A and B are shown apart, each in its own frame.
Chain A
Amino acid sequence: MAAIPGARTKRRKRSEALTAYAFLAPYLFIFTVFMLFSLIYTVYLSFTRYNLLRPPEFWGLEGWERVLTDELFMTKALPNTFKYVLIVVPVQTVLSLVLAFAMDQKLRGRRLFRTIFYLPSITSSVVISLIFVWLFSPIGVINQLFNLNVNWLGDQRTAFYTIMLVNIFTTSGTLMLIFLAGLQDIPVTLYEAAEIDGANKLQSFLYVTIPLLRPVLFFVVTVGVIGGFQVFDQIFIMTEGGPVDSTTTIAYIIYKWAFRDTTIKMGQAAVAAVILMVIIFVITMLQRRVIEGSGTAV
């Protein structure tokens, strides 16, 4: 008697799996064609010399060697990209956490503020970039407001920081929303318990809120790091990698080599893309260890 229900569950399980795959099929198809295939093809291209006008020819490690000895890539794009992530990610994470915390309080008009803070995130990055180009122009609002005479985007000492500011401005809103969802998931009872134990506001933030926000924090930092490493559109619109390469990042150099140069270097662009992918992959794994490894299990 026991065998029959067993077979039945087996059959049901199989049909459930089939249904699941049927639902997954459209996505899997798109994933295979546009992600998996492209990924493998990019790795293949990184070992070729390819200028689009002629078919790719196998080139071995020549392209890798050229990229790893390329001055623009090694002394500008690579350090610039790391610098960008190291500055932007902590600032936007802290800023969005603070904003989320403020929005979580029973403030007057918090709905309005929430909308205002979120607005940059749903605005096209091209539009925001252009607005910032005008704000930070030598005769723009920023200079006039603070009585300065700085050519923000034309000076290599300030251009990259201006771009960082734009990105912090646009992403903080989204991250704030994610933090806010995380904050509201924390049961009020825990805060009440902390209060009874004599914890003040700061203590309950540090010992209740932060630990319970860890999975959200991991998500926010990961998204921030990945986005940071891939920064492109603001640079493309605002500085095109200049002045004097001070805003050239890995993503921008990929575009430059693949599409902008008259000697198209698709192979080297693929090398840079693979390097970028490996960097992001390794750092995300490390992060997972650091954030999830410490403290309680999530």
Chain B
Amino acid sequence: MKKILTALSLLLLAGLVLSACQPAAQPTPETIVQTVEVPVTQEVIVTEVVTQEVEVPAERVEIRLSGWAANPQETALLESLLYKFNVANPDIVVKYEPITGDYWQAINTMVATGEEPDVYYMDIFQFPAFAQNQVLLPLDDYMAESGVSREEFIPALIDAFTFEGATYGIPKDFNTLGLFYNRDLFAAAGLDEPTDDWTWDELRAAAEATTDSANNIYGFGVPADPGRFPVFVFQNGGRIMSEDFSDTLLDSAEAVAAAEFYTNFRKDSVGAIPGDLGEGWQGTLFGKGQLAMVYEGGWLIPYLKEQFPDINYGVVNPPAGPAGEGNLIFTVAYVISPNSKNPEAAWRLIEFLTNEESQTAVLTSGFALPSRISLQEHEYLANNPASAAIFRGALTGAHPFMWGIVGSDVNDQMGKALERVYVEDQPVAEALAEAAEAIRNAIQQSQ
């Protein structure tokens, strides 16, 4: 007992001496010494906890930050960045309030009552509705003041969060689609592995060669998914929506031909939808070796590593179509609420979370790709060709996964049109014409 007491008092003494050593830098009325634990992330898992002592000014502002919690590792990464921010900005307290469950339901109702967090995640798909209803703070003045330029970010990403000439969000990360292919199935079929120079013809030929329907193995995954199919429309020179989102181009000749090409994989039994093989997601079927090729994003990489560590696969850019390359960008930004009482502090948080150092941490964590263009030369990408292929996708004919304010209607109709082709054998042109009509109706009603 006495020993413990001695040890404790020694510790206390050491603490006092240490705190006395700290220079009294800030001219704040009183400074408190607080112990902050800083977890240092190495690769994926928090491996080390460093104890640091930081001076905390008495007057601090509070910033609420909300996002969805994708997985524990990603949360750990964000928290480690927030600790670093806290150390660097002792006058700002960040309250991280992750939202579990339905994120948009929560954010929408919070915006309705003016209770939304100062800083929150904004998905590109939802962005048009928020921008059009003027519930986001334009960031251009803050960017100019702190010397952050739009050119530092991948153009397709920063452009996506621009509305009527103003920047409303700083992209935090992104994903595109890559052609994931199973090396063993390619070798068994005696095929050369795909390259970034592949075209539709080679994709189709590879699907035919790798299909082994007797063993429930199909060449290519063609889900009725509005998050996959548009790639083919872009590659065929078409678009889903017109430039100003006032009309849909889903019934254009380019889109119809793309849909023919896409749905024919299944019609000719060289492609399959997940339901055909008893799964909800084609990523699982790729892992099980039942689909030789799928279009998926970077999220499939950690999933395969965890669930199917033995699979031997590669990733290249989606093969080009008649009109060249095309891809979809899925991206999320940090936005600031105009109701924020401390927009400067909120901006400092965003600036920190998207600076080069934080973005490097995002990249090396392996969960997502950083939005800063300078990081395309980072050695992590050289060592991880799969991630590099996904990163390159943003620079080659990619369009954001966003269809204006009627986005959910466009998604619903696109998915249903493909379902009708698959389930009811409806002719492709008819299915897309029906979808386009419903979308036009929704656009009209949204005005």
A residues at B contact (CB < 8 Å) = 51-54, 66, 71, 137-140, 151, 154-156, 242-245, 259-264
Count class of interface residues, chain B: 20 to 34
B288 CB to closest chain A CB (Å) equals: 11
For residue A151, which residue of chain B has the nearest CB? Answer: B275
Q: When the two chains form the complex, which single residue of B102, B111, B129, B416 contacts A263, counting CB atoms closer than 8 Å?
A: B129
Known A66-B445, A156-B423, A263-B446: A53·B129 in contact at CB below 8 Å: yes
For the complex, give the distance between the alpha carbons of A2 and B395 in Å.
Answer: 99
Contacts of B419 in A (CB 8 A): 242-244
Contacts of B104 in A (CB 8 A): 259-260
Contacts of B409 in A (CB 8 A): 261-263
Contacts of B277 in A (CB 8 A): 138-139
B266 CB to closest chain A CB (Å) equals: 13
Q: When the two chains form the complex, which single residue of B133, B420, B424, B446 contacts A53, counting CB atoms closer than 8 Å?
A: B133
Is B292 close to A, CB under 8 A?
no
Known A52-B108, A260-B408, A263-B409: A244·B276 in contact at CB below 8 Å: no
Name the interface residues of B392-417: CB closer than 8 Å to any CB of A: 405-409, 415-416
Contacts of A264 in B (CB 8 A): 108, 129
CB-based contact B420/A259 at 8 Å: no
CB-based contact A53/B111 at 8 Å: yes
Is B54 close to A, CB under 8 A?
no
Contacts of A245 in B (CB 8 A): 416
B413 CB to closest chain A CB (Å) equals: 11
Contacts of B126 in A (CB 8 A): 262
Is B4 close to A, CB under 8 A?
no
For residue B426, which residue of chain A has the nearest CB? Answer: A244
A296 CB to closest chain B CB (Å) equals: 50
B363 CB to closest chain A CB (Å) equals: 30
A-B pairs with the 5 shortest C-beta distances?
Answer: A139-B278, A53-B133, A154-B275, A52-B112, A262-B407
For residue B274, which residue of chain A has the nearest CB? Answer: A154
For residue A51, which residue of chain B has the nearest CB? Answer: B133
Q: What are 22 of the A-B contact pairs (CB < 8 Å)?
A: A51-B133, A52-B111, A53-B108, A53-B135, A54-B133, A138-B276, A138-B278, A151-B276, A154-B275, A154-B423, A155-B423, A243-B423, A244-B419, A244-B423, A262-B125, A262-B128, A262-B129, A262-B406, A262-B409, A263-B129, A263-B409, A263-B446
For the complex, give the distance between the alpha carbons of A103 and B423 in Å.
Answer: 44
Contacts of B408 in A (CB 8 A): 260-263
For the complex, give the distance between the alpha carbons of A261 and B405 in Å.
Answer: 9
Name the interface residues of B206-246: CB closer than 8 Å to any CB of A: none
For the complex, give the distance between the alpha carbons of A260 and B128 in Å.
Answer: 15
Q: When the two chains form the complex, which single residue of B105, B130, B416, B442 contacts A259, counting CB atoms closer than 8 Å?
A: B105
For the complex with contacts A53-B133, A263-B406, 4 further pairs of A-B residues with Cβ separation under 8 Å are A52-B108, A243-B419, A262-B125, A262-B129
Is B9 close to A, CB under 8 A?
no
For the complex, give the distance between the alpha carbons of A261 and B408 in Å.
Answer: 5
Contacts of B438 in A (CB 8 A): 71
For residue B438, which residue of chain A has the nearest CB? Answer: A71
Contacts of B420 in A (CB 8 A): 244
Is B109 close to A, CB under 8 A?
yes
For the complex, give the distance between the alpha carbons of A156 and B426 in Å.
Answer: 14
For residue B415, which residue of chain A has the nearest CB? Answer: A242
Contacts of A138 in B (CB 8 A): 275-278
Contacts of A140 in B (CB 8 A): 278
For the complex, give the distance between the alpha carbons of A219 and B278 in Å.
Answer: 40
For residue A143, which residue of chain B has the nearest CB? Answer: B278
For residue B410, which residue of chain A has the nearest CB? Answer: A262
Contacts of A66 in B (CB 8 A): 445
CB-based contact A53/B130 at 8 Å: yes
CB-based contact A263/B276 at 8 Å: no
CB-based contact B128/A259 at 8 Å: no
Name the interface residues of B107-153: CB closer than 8 Å to any CB of A: 108-109, 111-112, 125-126, 128-130, 133, 135
CB-based contact B405/A262 at 8 Å: yes
B287 CB to closest chain A CB (Å) equals: 16
Contacts of A151 in B (CB 8 A): 275-276
CB-based contact B406/A259 at 8 Å: no
For the complex, give the distance between the alpha carbons of A209 and B54 in Å.
Answer: 79
For the complex, give the distance between the alpha carbons of A202 and B438 in Å.
Answer: 56
For the complex, give the distance between the alpha carbons of A155 and B442 in Å.
Answer: 26
Name the interface residues of B272-286: CB closer than 8 Å to any CB of A: 275-279
For the complex, give the distance between the alpha carbons of A54 and B135 in Å.
Answer: 8
For residue B278, which residue of chain A has the nearest CB? Answer: A139
For residue A62, which residue of chain B has the nearest CB? Answer: B445
For the complex, give the distance between the alpha carbons of A217 and B108 in Å.
Answer: 43
Binary contact readout B232-272 vs A (1 if CB under 8 angstroms, 0 otherwise): 00000000000000000000000000000000000000000
B427 CB to closest chain A CB (Å) equals: 15
A265 CB to closest chain B CB (Å) equals: 8
For the complex, give the distance between the alpha carbons of A66 and B442 in Å.
Answer: 11
Contacts of A244 in B (CB 8 A): 416, 419-420, 423-424
Contacts of A243 in B (CB 8 A): 419, 423
A49 CB to closest chain B CB (Å) equals: 10
Between A139, A156, A261, the greatest number of chain B beta carbons within 10 A of the residue's beta carbon is seen for: A261
Contacts of A242 in B (CB 8 A): 415-416, 419
Between B102, B104, B126, the greatest number of chain A beta carbons within 10 A of the residue's beta carbon is seen for: B104
Between A243, A260, A262, the greatest number of chain B beta carbons within 10 A of the residue's beta carbon is seen for: A262
For the complex, give the distance between the alpha carbons of A244 and B418 in Å.
Answer: 10
CB-based contact A137/B423 at 8 Å: no
For the complex, give the distance between the alpha carbons of A163 and B38 in Å.
Answer: 50
Contacts of A262 in B (CB 8 A): 125-126, 128-129, 405-409
CB-based contact A263/B108 at 8 Å: no
For the complex, give the distance between the alpha carbons of A242 and B420 in Å.
Answer: 11
CB-based contact A263/B423 at 8 Å: no
A156 CB to closest chain B CB (Å) equals: 6
